[in-house]
Amino acid sequence: MKVSRQQILYATIFLAALSVVVWLTATLTRETAVEELRRTGAGRLKLFVSNLTSELEKYEFLPQILAKDERIIRLLIQPGDRAHVTLVNRYLEQANTISGASDIYVIDQDGLTLVASNWNSPKPFVGKNFGFRPYFQAAIRGETGRYPALGMTSNRRGYYYASPVEANGRILGVAVVKVSPEAVEAAWAGAPEKVIVTDYNGVIFITNEPAWRFKTLRPLPAAVVDEIKLSRQYADSVLAPLPVVEERPYDHGGSFLTIQESSAVRYLIQSQEMPTHQWRVHLLSDTRKVDVQIAYFSGYAAVSVITIFLILMYLLQRRRNLIQRLQHQTQIEETLLHAHRDLEVQVRQRTEELTEANRQLDHKVREQQRTAEDLRNTQEELLQSAKLAALGQMSAGITHELNQPLTAIQTYLGIAQQLLEHRQYDELNGNLSDILSLTDRMARFTGQLKTFSRKSTTSISELPLKQTIEDALVLITHTHKQAVKILKSFPDYDVLVLADALRLEQVFVNLFKNAMEAMRDCKDAKLYVSIEPDGGSIRVQVRDTGPGVPAEDLSRLFEPFFTDKEAGIGLGLGLSISQDIVNSFGGTIKVTNHPAGGAEFTVTLQAAESGEFRASNTTPAGRS
Ligand code: ADP
């Protein structure tokens, strides 16, 4: 795993913070705890001192009282009086029991013990000489003796109070009360501190730590040790110094003392003088509980620092994650923005391209339209030229077409003259009718030619379809005297179409004429004519029972000059002209062969807006 510079920095800060906090906590805890120890110790020390003082004071005046006792004075004056000796022994025994002292005894001028409270014990003081004891020496001088020592006879510690027994201004002996420190020590035994009482030489005389008895706080000078030994104060005790390995003064009072026994223990030692006894009472408070407190609080501080650090790390990590997420989001937004811009650019480019393409397309369409227009014009011109050329070619036919009726007319006119002369009016009338029909035929023929050779103008209007068809039928039945059954299927209301009346009639005349001609050799010739509304259009169907149109000719029928008729009979222009006319009305004309035989022409015309059929075009009524 690669450790980043930042991680090293964090680790360093963490360790530094941890060290500082732990050090500060330890220092503060130590100062506070030691000060607390000192404060408590000071109070406790006072308590121990006052306890000891009060314990000793109980006995302080007892030797003085005994020294004034008549029985004791008499004893010292007459030491040989056995009965008195016994009496005083008993008295002392009693006094000792009542006072709770260790021993009470009386010594004569030479240091010899005359009476003692333990006179009746296995090791009585009676007969022992304590002349060497400093308390005796002080008392025999007239002073009050105070002396701590180890009993020579009893080998038990004691504090000796001695007072001179005087009579008539003369010191006869000394009254001694020995007080045991054991009761005090027993009271101190349960104390958490070590309490030691050192004498004027520094020897531990009273203590609640039995192992320290008769040891010294500091090493004593050899001369002093010799002197103590000589005085037999502490019998054969070694007076070894306590194993103090370190001593350091404490600024706020007392000092730290490290004593190395089974283990090194550091104590805060506080001392107080007891001037009346030339003693010094010391209180040694174990500082290990301070160490426990330091360890506890330092640990607590370390845990706190670690927790805070972990929280900080967590927050930092969270912040970093948030920043990363934000950056990521910003990146995405930027990418999107770029993509959006790119798209906009692309769209703009594409739009421009499309606009350009559109413009080019427009241009092409216009060009094509122009080309188409040119083509149409050329076609029309071509057609026109073709028509004219054809007309030239067909002039012979035309001449023949016109000459025939003309010749007939001439013949009819000759006959007419004769009929007139013979006043045969009926025949004349018939004759004239024939001439009329011939001229009609000629007129239609020339009319056809006119229509074909020039573009006629069309005037479209609403016109009654049924009437137009009827007119055409009348016309055709006049010109074609054939046995043809005409079957009409017309609505019984007016059907209005948009067309030019004359020209539309021309179309139907042409269709009927063709049908008639096709059925010329038919036996049961029938001509079906029907009108049917078809949405906004009107459909007219003209069907005959002739041979129909050969399949290969169906597509060519409307071509100009397409005909199966002999020259002079048909020009092949009829259907072509009819198609032109119908188209000019916005209509169509188509041809099919009927399944039952015969050709069927369908002319579709635009219905006039105001046509009646509109009101009822879905229910065509009667048929005729
Ligand atoms: P024309 O009648 O002068 O030949 P049209 O253009 O009117 O010229 O007719 C073209 C040709 O179409 C005719 O020659 C004929 O062969 C064919 N035709 C037209 N109508 C019919 C019909 N009802 N049945 C069969 N053939 C027809």
Determine if ligand 1 sits within 6 Å of the CB of residue 394.
Answer: no
Helix (H, G, I), strand (E, B) or coil at 362: helix
CA distance 555 to 483: 30
User: From the CA of 484, how far away is ligand 1's center (Å)?
Assistant: 18
The tokens of 58 are what? 């109980």
**Pairing outcome for strands 170-179 and 103-108:** antiparallel
Helix ranges restricted to H, 394-537: 395-421, 425-453, 465-479, 501-518
Amino acid at 184: V
CA distance 236 to 76: 32
483 DSSP assignment: -
User: From the CA of 572, how far away is ligand 1's center (Å)?
Assistant: 7
pTM of the full structure: 0.51
Predicted pLDDT at 573: 82
Predicted pLDDT at 408: 85
Predicted pLDDT at 454: 56
Nearest protein Cα to ligand 1, atom 26: 549
Read off the pLDDT of residues 340-353 as tens digits, 9 standing for 90 and up: 898 898 888 888 88
Residues of the chain where predicted confidence (pLDDT) is lower than 50 = 393, 611-624
- Residue of 212, 279, 261, 250 lying closest to 42 (CA atoms): 250
Q: What is the DSSP string of 33-69?
A: HHHHHHHHHHHHHHHHHHHHHHHHHHHHTHHHHHHT-
Determine if ligand 1 sits within 6 Å of the CB of residue 562.
Answer: yes
Predicted pLDDT at 624: 29
Phi-psi region of 278 (alpha: psi -120 to 50; beta: other; left: phi over 0): left
Predicted pLDDT at 613: 40
Predicted pLDDT at 58: 87
Determine if ligand 1 sits within 6 Å of the CB of residue 572.
Answer: yes
Nearest protein Cα to ligand 1, atom 13: 563
Cβ–Cβ contacts within 10 Å for residue 340, how many? Answer: 11
Cβ–Cβ contacts within 10 Å for residue 218, how many? Answer: 10
Nearest protein Cα to ligand 1, atom 23: 515
CA distance 528 to 15: 118
Predicted pLDDT at 620: 34
Q: Which of 448, 449, 514, 555 to mutate to test the pocket of ligand 1 (most atoms within 8 A of CB)?
A: 514
